[in-house]
Structure 1
Amino acid sequence: MRVVLSSYGSRGDVEPLAALAVELRKLGAEVRVCAPEDEEFADRLAGVGVEMVPVRLSVRALVATAKPGSPEAMTERVTALAAAQYEAVAEAAEGADVVVATGLFPAVTGSRTAAEQLGLRYAYVTFFSGMLPSPHHPPYPLPGRPLPEGVTDNRILWDLDVENGNAVYGPGLAALRTRLGLPPVADVRPYAITARPLLAADTVLGPWQRPADLDVLPTDAWIVPDERPLPAALEEFLRAGEPPVYVGFGSMSMNGSGDTAQVAIEAVRAQGRRVLVSRGWADLGLIDGRDDCMAVGEANHQLLFRRVAAVVHHGGAGTTTTAARAGAPQVVVPQLVDQPYWAGRVAALGIGAAHDGPVPTYESLSAALATALAPETRARAQEVAATIRTDGAERTAKLLMEGFGEPA
């Protein structure tokens, strides 16, 4: 059996596919992963022995240059992204049986189009429930399409989301399909996510509430064991004193990143803690030469988070799950899309604090850190850690091998 796993987005959109690919290969499947051409994705997939077919559109370059624009500019971006993903999937899918897609929505539509044209089974996966229609939560606003004020009925909002999705993504998808000689799609969202999507989120951290409009299949999170040792300099820093507070915001640009680093370091120091700053896409750095603070690049979070006092982060699904699994208290400073959801879940479970808004100040971050560093928060984080399942990718691989997916 041959499987194509397709994603376009940040590390958190690609890492779970590495986990699924590893489990599929254990069952004898041939697997290719379509992911952005950025070097970090190629390195990570190569590290677990998975073949990557690059999507010829750098996600870091896209994030750096994307700005709000006209509807015409949005259509151009959607068309380019859908076409790039389509081309990668079409290349990877020779002789394949099924395509599994996730990531930015235009890329998902490109993946579904390739599967349709090639006559392959298709499955959609998301890593948080807010991407899926439900009476229990509203959709998140699409670019240039804020949710109407005063409307609280989630079913009405999800019906509106279909209209908004057609307006934002429809013209770009139509342009791609016209070029391929395919008929238009009536509604983009149902086409992309199907009637039976997968939800690869931990059932304690990110549960799916029923009843709902879709036949959603929760699988628990897809986690690939990371066996990499920590860099020697980082090991030396960790052993030199009490566990530090980790501060990192992954693929978020954190506008005014210099201020973010200063605020974070000063707030952590005020709690009497050492600081470990992850550079990330915001290129955070140190603010002075004191030896209580260290800046790091890529590192094994599964190993590192077991050795820190708390994790301050943006609230991506992967980082939230990794910190929870490690039993590390969290401070989530949410920036966009799913991150406010994960911030709320961390607070609701009592395993950390949800920062109010995307821009931390010394006062606001200090208050959140006081909550996260409290003994009762660590005790609760350790309790929840024992409930996190690690077999989601294994169970999903078996489903795919048994024929899961919407037929072409």
Structure 2
Amino acid sequence: MRVLLSTFGSRGDAEPLAALAAALRAQGAQARVCASPDFAQRLDQAGVELFPVGPPVRDWIREVMADPTPDIPGRGAQIMAMYRDALSVAIEDCDAVVATGLFPATTAAQMLAERHRLPYVYAGYCPTYLPSVHHAPFQFPHSPPPPADADNRERWALNARAMQDTFGDTANRHRAELGLPPTQHLRDRVFTARPWLATDPVLSPWAPTSLCEVVQTGHWILPDDRPLAPDLCAFLDAGEPPVYVGFGSMPLHAWGGSAARIAIEAARTQGCRIVLAGGWAGLIPVDAGDDCYAIGEVNQQALFPRMAAIVHHGGAGTTMAATRAGTPQVIVPQIADQPYWAGRVADLGIGVAHAGAVASVESLSAALATALMPRTRVRAEVVAGMVRGDGAAVAAKRLIDLFGG
């Protein structure tokens, strides 16, 4: 059995698919990951076959986030065409398709699976992306807002209409070229009647709803046995546990180039050393102080348990890694699902949700003061013992049981 795994997005979108691919291989199946070439090195380290698609996603995301009025239909059409072409080749010899990531890419994956009459699974990495009466959908900036008195059921109905209006004509043009009938229910066709939710039920519980029946597998975690660099280990051993600061794939344009200075000064006000991850924002130390150590790509699974606190953007993968480490968190959410993860961390008492996407030295220092309290550490360690790490294995077994015969 060979499964085609497809995504368009940042590392937080691609690495869980690498985890699923590795779990499939461990259970005797094969997998092929269709994703940006940005992640070739990481997937190669994991022994996962990458079928690269398009230009680096980092460049695409930087352009979109820097554009105050992005052309969402036009950019969606570009992604859909790019993934239709790539998946038309990658799907050969495959027996099933699993798609995640931005909607235009999952739309392409669904239509190719339908064209080849293959089983198809849509997987989400956050409950808020799936229809539910318990939360509202993401609001497209180019679509008119719903009435102020609309309930979540009505908001999700309007969301389906907005998805159709935004991507439907492009999708139906591709479907016609593939010999498929048009659809007027694009979102529901792509999401399917029973999507999978690749999140941990403790960190991210799914409340039953009539709008969507979900299969929650647990978070898809790629095991990482890479050692920490000797110089980093020496820094960690030389003093008290430091604070990690890193914002992953967020360029932090709104911070005006001051993110590193703010984070370093906030940590210093709490008497903490700092491990500063450059990320897509290009964070670098602001002086020659020996209390700050700069890193690039790193094994979070090895590093995070050695931190006093973890300051980050609230991506699903980073939030889960910090939660599993039992280390308190401060989340400064920027976009998309990140406010949800910040809220969950605060609700569980394992960290702090910063109010607003741009921090000051004072606001970040206050958040760190709460995160560094002994009671936050104790609660983080308790929750770490409750979350699971077998979601990829659960999902792989389900795929093989359902479609491997």
Residue in structure 2 matched with residue 272 of structure 1 by the alignment:
271
Cα displacement string for residues 360-392 of structure 1 (whole angstroms, at most 9, x for unaligned residues): 111211111111010000000000000110111
- In structure 1, the partner of 2:247 is 249
Distance 1:224 1:161, change over 3 A: same
Distance across 2 between alignment mates of 1:27 and 1:329 = 34
Matched, 1:2 2:19: no
Matches within 5 A, 1:361-380: 361-380=360-379
Identity %: 52
The structural deviation recorded for 1:342 is 0.4
Deviations 1:139-184 (A, max 9, x none): 0112312633523511011011011111222233234334434332
Equivalent pairs counted in the alignment come to 401
* Within-5 A mapping of 1:156-175: 156-175=154-173
CA offsets 1:311-351 (integer angstroms, 9 cap, x no match):
00000110000000000100000011110000000000000
For 1:202-229, what per-residue CA distance to the aligned partner results, in whole angstroms no more than 9, with x for missing partners? Answer: 1000000013321100111111210000
Q: Contact between 1:257 and 1:283, CA under 8 Å: does it hold in 2?
A: no
What secondary structure is seen at the aligned counterpart in 2 of 1:258? coil
Distance in 2 of aligned mates of 1:64 and 1:337? 15
Quote the Cα distance in structure 2 between the aligned partners of 1:296 and 1:153: 45
1: CA distance, partners of 2:170 / 2:369: 47
Cα shift readout 1:253-288 (whole Å, capped 9, x = no counterpart): 101352111111100100000011100001011110
Q: Is the 8 A contact 2:95 2:403 kept in 1?
A: no
Q: Contact conserved, 1:142 with 1:168, CA < 8 A, in 2? A: no
The residue number in structure 2 matching 1:32 is 32
Q: Which amino acid aligns with 1:37?
A: P
Root-mean-square deviation (Å): 1.5
| 1:21 aligned partner | 21
Does the residue aligned with 1:24 lie in a helix, a strand or coil? helix
The answer for the alignment partner of 2:136 in structure 1 is: 138
Residues 22-69 of structure 1: CA deviation (Å, up to 9, x unaligned)? 11111211210001122xx11111111111001113211111222254
| 1:323 paired to 2:326 | no
Instruction: In structure 2, list runs of 5 or more residues that go unmatched.
Output: none
What is the alpha-carbon distance in structure 1 between the residues aligned to residue 13 and residue 336 of structure 2?
Answer: 13
Change (3 A) 1:187 1:93: same
> 2:402 aligns to what SS in structure 1?
coil
Partner of 1:211: 209
**1:295-334 equivalent positions in 2, closer than 5 A:** 295-334=294-333
Q: Which residue number corresponds to residue 97 of structure 1?
A: 95
- 1: CA distance, partners of 2:319 / 2:270: 22
Q: Distance in 1 between matches of 2:224 and 2:6?
A: 21
- Please report how far the alpha carbon of residue 84 of structure 1 lies from its aligned counterpart in structure 2 after TM superposition: 1.4
Question: What is the one-letter code of the residue matched to 2:209?
Answer: P
SS for the counterpart of 1:15 is helix
The 4+ residue runs of structure 1 with deviation greater than 3 A are: 178-182
Distance in 2, matches of 1:190 and 1:282, equals: 35
Within 2, Cα distance between the matches of 1:262 and 1:98?
48
The match for 2:288 is: 289
Q: Which amino acid aligns with 1:306?
A: P
Report the AA paired with residue 189 of structure 1: R
Match of residue 151 from structure 2? 153
3-state secondary structure, aligned to 2:75 = helix
Separation of aligned partners in 2, 1:169 and 1:52: 27
For structure 1, the 5+ residue unaligned runs are none
In structure 1, what is the equivalent of residue 260 of structure 2? Answer: 261
* TM-score, length of structure 2 as denominator length: 0.96
Q: TM-score, normalised by structure 1?
A: 0.95
